[in-house]
Structure 1
Amino acid sequence: MTPEVVLVRGGQADAVRSRIRSDFPDVRVLDDETAHPETTIVAGRVRDEELPGLPALDWVHSWAAGVESEVGPALRRSGVAVTSSAGNGAVPLAEHAMLLALQLDRGGRRWADAAREARWDRFTHGELAGKTMGIYGFGNIGAALAPRASAFDMTVIGLRRDVGSTPAAVERLYRPEEVLDFAGRCDVLVVTAPLTVETRGAIDLRVLSALRPGATVIVVSRGGIVVDADLLTALDSGAVAGAGLDAHTVEPLPADSPFWSRDDVVVTPHNGATTTATADRGTAIFLDNLRRRVTREPLVNRVDPSSLA
């Protein structure tokens, strides 16, 4: 059997190389991030123009949970296996969704503005208890978010393609074709879906208009699922009371984006999962897959390139 040759790229490259050398002594690890013709595995990004110089490559692992921006057209067509780090940021993104939900419901931006001016500003605000949170694209993030929302005495519903059994802390799962019924129950809509050909633009004005009066919209997975122009229209009309956006259609969010200056929008810079633990979980996912590769077991977190937006 041809020995595996692994090229590691990214912020934790040195630590990952050390783990591979320690745990997989029969695997050769390249010393730097330079592509080598004998490379069979890359942990990190591979640019399309590098592929001709990587004739032995047959597996790429992305440190990202969503890989649509990591996998170029040539790599998608190449037949090379692609895996992701899906699930690595589920916990901090669930926490971030709750942070945004609380900020929007309680008027946190108004308090922050008053604090900067040393102004005592007391006002009537909302509470999450008794409201319904709808999780669009119920997967790893949804599984982490549901019990957290339930702990705030919220009712939790979800929507995903494969309904299957209903998870704990979730009242009901809806199918994509039931999206309007799903939206009609949401006081807080949280988008946790990956960006795919099916989800791009799926949350449009029709869906936003179906939300409960006073509803808020939170996006923590990927931009492009909610139609920006439609969200602005819904905010202007009052159909949506506020939005918390960590993921954006264009990143970095342009300085002239109207989302920056709105009092009813909280913007964070796609930073909700940037924790040390997220990186550690991504490393663990890759090392488990490397073990599977060595023992000839199926890889987990396989990505279907044809589904990528």
Structure 2
Amino acid sequence: MIVVIGKHRPDLAELTDVVFVDGWSGIPDDVVASMEAVIGRVPGDVLARAAKLRWVHSPAAGVDADLSPEMLASDVVLTSSVGNGAIPLAEHAMLLMLMLNRDVPRWMRAQAEHRWDRFTHGELAGLTLGIYGLGNSGLDLARKAEAFHLRVIGVRRRAGEPSPHVEQVDFGTLLEQSDFVVVTAPSTPQTLGRFGAPEFARMKRSAYFICISRGGIADDDALLNALRSGQIAGAGLDAHGVEPLPPQSAFWDLPNVIVTPHNGATSTGTARRGEQIVRENLRRFLSGQELLNVVDKAAGY
């Protein structure tokens, strides 16, 4: 039996042994005991009762919320939809870079006030983009940035793996040379809190920090201090340490910060590619083939 959790329900009309449910509440024990695959998140207590479960697929690209102690200890194969949102996330990073570089909020304020405000602004050509995390989103961003005549440098966990359009450097070099530092890395024990006060102090005072992947990779207090003190020039934040971002958060009102509500990848294309991954993995699961996007539970992605 295959169980699909959540409101989004891929077209699986050709399959007969599929159960669609909105959530785990009220699901009979016999269904839990007989399911072999789940599309959606499986709580630890359910996982412990699912004796036949062999595969769980996360509809999300990041799986930090799926890696319960029970999942980490189990032999259940976990796959993800990593890569489905790479294109819009890279586009969102470029959008934030352009908005910060050209001070687009100033134009928007002038428009709201019907005020003709011409000023000298920046341009991206010739600047250096540093990408922290060279997975699908990071590599797509590198390709786009190169077309804007940016120098692109980056770091990845497995240093030395091929990274088209990117000059791989060490972390210190990325901090010191980048005009934009863009975080595209997943949330793992190794990346959480990676950007703190010492890291922001090594960045150029004219540099911008952008996070489009997961909150918590930057220490929020350290980032706020860096922004308020002028240690860095500004930030574009789509991913936040606490989500939804609380109304009282200082990030909302800082003049050098652009906040978006973690929906840089909320596009029709992301949903379409995610469904394609689900359908292909279902085909492979039913035919006994190797699955796509198998998560390294120890690494966290």
Normalising by the residue count of structure 1, what TM-score does the alignment of the two structures yield? 0.89
The CA distance in 1 between the partners of 2:67 and 2:40, in whole Å, is: 10
Residue 45 of structure 1: CA displacement?
A: 1.6
Residue 193 of structure 1: CA displacement?
A: 0.1
The CA distance in 1 between the partners of 2:71 and 2:143, in whole Å, is: 38
Find the counterpart in structure 2 of residue 305 from structure 1: 297
Map 1:1-309; keep pairs closer than 5 Å.
5-13=1-9, 15-18=10-13, 21=14, 25=15, 28-33=17-22, 35=27, 36=31, 37-170=33-166, 172-174=167-169, 178-308=170-300
Structure 2 vs 1, CA of residues 276 and 11 (structure 1 numbering), >3 Å: closer, same or farther? Answer: farther
Structure 2: segments with no counterpart, 5+ residues: none
Amino acid at match of 2:12: R
Residue 296 of structure 1: CA displacement?
A: 2.5
Amino acid at match of 1:12: H
Q: CA RMSD in A?
A: 1.8
The CA distance in 1 between the partners of 2:278 and 2:160, in whole Å, is: 27
Paired residue secondary structure (2:163): coil
Residue 79 of structure 1: CA displacement?
A: 2.8
The CA distance in 1 between the partners of 2:106 and 2:140, in whole Å, is: 29
Count of aligned positions: 294
The CA distance in 1 between the partners of 2:81 and 2:243, in whole Å, is: 20
| 1:180-223 residue CA offsets vs partner (Å, 9 max, x unmatched) | 12211100000000000110111122222222330001000000
Paired residue secondary structure (1:282): helix
Structure 2 vs 1, CA of residues 52 and 165 (structure 1 numbering), >3 Å: closer, same or farther? Answer: closer
The CA distance in 1 between the partners of 2:138 and 2:3, in whole Å, is: 33
Q: Report if the CA contact (8 A) 1:166-1:173 is conserved.
A: no
Amino acid at match of 2:18: V
Residue 166 of structure 1: CA displacement?
A: 4.1
The CA distance in 2 between the partners of 1:10 and 1:276, in whole Å, is: 18
Q: What percentage of residue pairs aligned between the two structures are identical?
A: 47
Structure 1: segments with no counterpart, 5+ residues: none
Structure 2 vs 1, CA of residues 76 and 165 (structure 1 numbering), >3 Å: closer, same or farther? Answer: closer
| 1:153-191 residue CA offsets vs partner (Å, 9 max, x unmatched) | 101111101133543322x113xxx21122111000000
The CA distance in 2 between the partners of 1:201 and 1:50, in whole Å, is: 31
Between 1:281-290 and 1:48-57, the stretch displaced more is 48-57
The CA distance in 2 between the partners of 1:97 and 1:54, in whole Å, is: 40
Between 1:208-217 and 1:286-295, the stretch displaced more is 286-295
The CA distance in 2 between the partners of 1:242 and 1:114, in whole Å, is: 20
Paired residue secondary structure (1:305): coil
The CA distance in 2 between the partners of 1:154 and 1:268, in whole Å, is: 24
The CA distance in 2 between the partners of 1:112 and 1:39, in whole Å, is: 53
